[in-house]
């Protein structure tokens, strides 16, 4: 390269951009992480160029060898990234051409516009697969904790007020369900990421007789039936970032779920709840108060949802009103996409680690779950079984609760006579409603926190996740 001009400026341009402009426009500082996928794309493109006679077999193998040698150098930290070459694509191409003259033919029928779309899709495809395995691992951590503490009961809450007793496992499995929907969304997103844009050129394809199907197959852009998946409109293909938006949206919802789980952990470790203890490794102290042990990992997991939601907003705003087709604005997609992927991956992973290092205070949990008022609804169901309309039963049990409060007794301490003073339908068997074990054995419809149903759900998830 003469005068150290960036490749894209050779020929038409008289000089280099000023340092400030170069710094403003470069993307190498953040898109270099695409190098592996850029090289993979180039290897497939070169194979195709040989097939159609643009490269000789010798040129193609020299290019392949050159790219692999560059990959080794990058891996070993020996590659010198040059900011004046703008981005990962031009850094790799320039270095290849310096080493292998045939490298100058590699960009035949290709633009950085379809190249960057390709790289992003290849990168995101891998990212989704590894995120899915982290999510499955977090689900396993939740199921394992549920299994280990299968006997533990806690109050279930609505409005953050004690409502009805549930097994801790039931509460944990609620998150397993949420995470399963996150996985399904990510898989769905994967099917639209997995479409090959290469061959779209800058925006209008190419006059050369390239073979897009071959490239798609080489790069694994095929559906479940092995059919190659190609973008069908070159202008759309170079400017489409819907797949990135979809990923960021799925990541945002995942982050929101993780923040809810984090919040439960934070509440449960507080002295007010005291249901669980987090291992020291996942907590930090206070620089001032010697007694403190703070659940920082959980707090940051909760907090990081903010940036992941923000990344989604940034991407949508970036795309809004963009004219056809590629615009340099699109370079701004990467840091948001990378940040969402990195953040949800790390959070998912750390949450799993933290859950594996939690101990449960079963005594505190049971003490909270034993509050007989949590079974007031069961008492209403008792009256329904005696033939009363539920509305009336609800009203009567309300009066019973008021009576207990007035006489300073627990609900379960009221005598049969006291219950009958409210309504004669209360028989001597009414007080057996407050037997917690029995109460839990009675909630066995699908999705309920009953003893048998909970065991069934734990077994179902154990099987699904193994």
Contact set with ligand ARG (CB under 6 A): 27, 31, 87, 112-113, 116, 328, 330-331
Q: Which residue in the list 159, 271, 287, 466 is annotated as catalytic?
A: 159
Handedness of CA 184, 186, 189, 194 (dihedral sign): negative
CB of 131 to ligand ARG, least distance (A): 22
Nearest CA among 434, 200, 419 for reference residue 325? 200
| Dihedral sign, Cα of residue 55, residue 61, residue 63, residue 67 | positive
Tell me which residue of 252, 353, 234, 244 sits closest to 298, measured CA to CA.
353
Which one, of 377, 354, 308, lies nearest residue 175 by Cα?
354
**Could you tell me which of 224, 18, 42 has the C-alpha nearest to residue 115?**
42
Which structure tokens are listed for 201? Answer: 């050129």
CB of 111 to ligand ARG, least distance (A): 7
CA distances from 458 to 146, 349, 369 (A): 8, 21, 21
61 in active site: no
Q: Three-class SS string for 368-399?
A: HHCCHHHHHHHHHHHHHHCCCCHHHHHHHHHH
d(CA 346, CA 270): 24
The one catalytic residue in 10, 29, 133, 286 is: 286
Asked whether the beta carbons of 196 and 122 are under 8 A apart, the reply is: no
Catalytic, 286? Answer yes
Q: How far apart are CA 367 and CA 374, in angstroms?
A: 12
* Minimum CB distance to ligand ARG smaller for 87 or for 93: 87
Least Å distance, CB 180 to ligand ARG, is 34
Kindly report the backbone phi and psi dihedral angles of residue 163, in degrees, each rounded to the nearest multiple of 5, phi listed first.
-120, -70
Q: Give the three-state DSSP class for 1.
A: coil
Whether 166 and 363 have beta carbons less than 8 Å apart is answered as no
Q: How far is the CB of 87 from ligand ARG (least distance, A)?
A: 4
Classify residue 282 by its DSSP letter.
G
Q: In angstroms, rounded to a whole number, what is the distance separating the alpha carbons of residues 411 and 415?
A: 9
Question: In whole angstroms, how close is the CB of 250 to ligand ARG at the nearest point?
Answer: 22
Q: Which residues contact 10 (CB under 8 A, 6 or more apart)?
A: 1, 2
> Which positions are catalytic?
159, 286
């Amino acid at each position: 390269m003469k005068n150290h001009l960036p490749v894209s400026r050779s020929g038409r341009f008289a000089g280099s951009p000023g340092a400030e402009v170069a710094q403003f426009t470069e993307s190498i500082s953040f898109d270099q992480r695409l190098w592996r996928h850029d090289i993979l794309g180039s290897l497939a493109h070169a194979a195709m160029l040989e097939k159609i006679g643009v490269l000789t077999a010798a040129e193609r193998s020299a290019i392949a060898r050159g790219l692999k040698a560059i990959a080794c150098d990058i891996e070993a930290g020996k590659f010198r990234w040059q900011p004046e070459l703008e981005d990962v694509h031009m850094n790799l191409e320039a270095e290849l051409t310096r080493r292998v003259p045939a490298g100058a033919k590699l960009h035949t029928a290709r633009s950085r516009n379809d190249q960057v779309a390709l790289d992003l899709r290849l990168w995101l495809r891998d990212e989704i697969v590894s995120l899915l395995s982290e999510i499955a691992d977090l689900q396993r951590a939740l199921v394992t904790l549920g299994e280990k503490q299968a006997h533990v009961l806690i109050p279930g809450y609505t409005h953050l007020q004690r409502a009805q007793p549930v097994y801790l496992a039931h509460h944990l499995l609620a998150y397993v369900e949420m995470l399963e929907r996150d996985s399904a969304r990510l898989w769905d997103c994967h099917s639209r990421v997995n479409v090959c844009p290469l061959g779209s050129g800058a925006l209008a394809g190419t006059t050369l007789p390239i073979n897009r199907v071959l490239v798609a197959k080489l790069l694994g852009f095929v559906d479940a039936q092995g059919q190659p998946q190609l973008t069908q409109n070159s202008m759309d293909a170079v400017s489409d970032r819907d797949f990135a938006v979809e990923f960021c949206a799925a990541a945002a919802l995942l982050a929101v779920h993780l923040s809810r789980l984090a919040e439960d952990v934070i509440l449960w470790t507080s002295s007010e709840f005291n249901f669980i203890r987090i291992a020291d490794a996942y907590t930090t102290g206070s620089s001032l108060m010697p007694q403190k042990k703070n659940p920082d990992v959980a707090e940051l997991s909760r907090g990081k949802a903010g940036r992941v939601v923000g990344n989604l907003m940034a991407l949508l705003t970036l795309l809004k009103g963009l004219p056809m087709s590629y615009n340099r604005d699109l370079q701004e997609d990467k840091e948001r996409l990378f940040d969402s992927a990195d953040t949800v991956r790390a959070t998912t992973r750390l949450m799993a680690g933290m859950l594996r290092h939690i101990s449960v205070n079963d005594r505190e949990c049971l003490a909270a779950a034993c509050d007989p008022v949590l079974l007031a609804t069961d008492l209403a169901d008792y009256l329904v079984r005696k033939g009363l309309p539920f509305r009336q039963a609800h009203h009567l049990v309300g009066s019973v609760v008021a009576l207990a409060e007035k006489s300073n007794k627990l609900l379960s301490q009221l005598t049969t006579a006291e219950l009958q003073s409210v309504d004669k339908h209360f028989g001597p068997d009414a007080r057996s409603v407050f037997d917690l074990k029995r109460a839990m054995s009675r909630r066995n419809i699908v999705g309920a926190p009953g003893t048998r149903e909970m065991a069934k759900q734990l077994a179902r998830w154990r099987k699904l996740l193994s």
